């Protein structure tokens, strides 16, 4: 049985400020780097055979924490990038709601086509699921591949891979930073979700300045 771990990157300052990142290359912050290390200490126990990452630094640097423990080389795939949010990128969600209310309303309703050059959910799901399938082929029989990606990309890519309808995907809560989805595959059952939003239960407290 092949196992695929779809892992969201650690926290960034834009996450903390509710600012739309999309495909803007925003780095991990100190909290995000700690989250990556803590999560890697759990994921290494799964004995991954390969690590694949989005080429955006917040995902790649998250994957690097696991690579440091396993000695594996990280392969990058730009299809694993976050949803392209077009004119929204760099805005806070409050600014989107105030300045682009019609688009924000369509996004809130879970519609596929938003406007403002925002990538459709269908296009997002197709490209990410294709990358996930290709990543899974890196595992030997019964092996494990860890894929570092982004929140919306992970949820939509997994949903497309499983054949879920958009309204079903809306029932899933957003992945927390540095949490993951576990998928398994065998010839009899195909792809199945084994676990969702798994990760370290609580962030370590930030040490006081010295």
Q: Which residues participate in catalysis according to the annotation?
A: 9, 82
Distance CA 21, CA 71 (A): 30
E-only strand ranges, 37-177: 50-53, 74-76, 144-149
Distance CA(53)–CA(40), nearest Å, equals: 14
Which residues is 66 bridged to in the sheet? none
Residues 70/48, Cβ–Cβ less than 8 Å? yes
Sort strands 144-149 and 74-76 into parallel, antiparallel or unpaired.
unpaired
């Amino acid at each position: 049985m092949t196992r695929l771990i779809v892992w969201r990157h650690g926290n960034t300052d834009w996450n903390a400020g509710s600012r739309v990142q999309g495909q803007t290359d925003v780095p991990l912050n100190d909290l995000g780097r700690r989250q990556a290390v803590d999560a890697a200490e759990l994921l290494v126990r799964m004995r991954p055979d390969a690590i694949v990452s989005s080429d955006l630094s917040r995902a790649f640097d998250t994957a690097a924490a696991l690579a440091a423990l396993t000695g594996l080389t990280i392969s990058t795939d730009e299809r694993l990038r976050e949803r392209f949010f077009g004119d929204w990128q760099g805005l806070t969600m409050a600014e989107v709601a105030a300045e682009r209310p019609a688009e924000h309303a369509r996004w809130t309703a879970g519609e596929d086509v938003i406007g403002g050059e925002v990538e459709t959910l269908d296009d997002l799901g197709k490209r990410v699921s294709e990358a996930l399938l290709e990543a899974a082929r890196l595992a030997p029989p019964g092996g494990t591949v860890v894929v570092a990606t982004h929140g919306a990309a992970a949820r939509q890519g997994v949903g497309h891979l499983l054949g879920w309808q958009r309204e079903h995907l809306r029932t899933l809560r957003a992945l927390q930073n540095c949490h993951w989805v576990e998928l398994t595959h065998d010839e009899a059952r195909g792809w199945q979700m084994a676990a969702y939003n798994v990760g370290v239960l609580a962030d370590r407290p930030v040490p006081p300045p010295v």
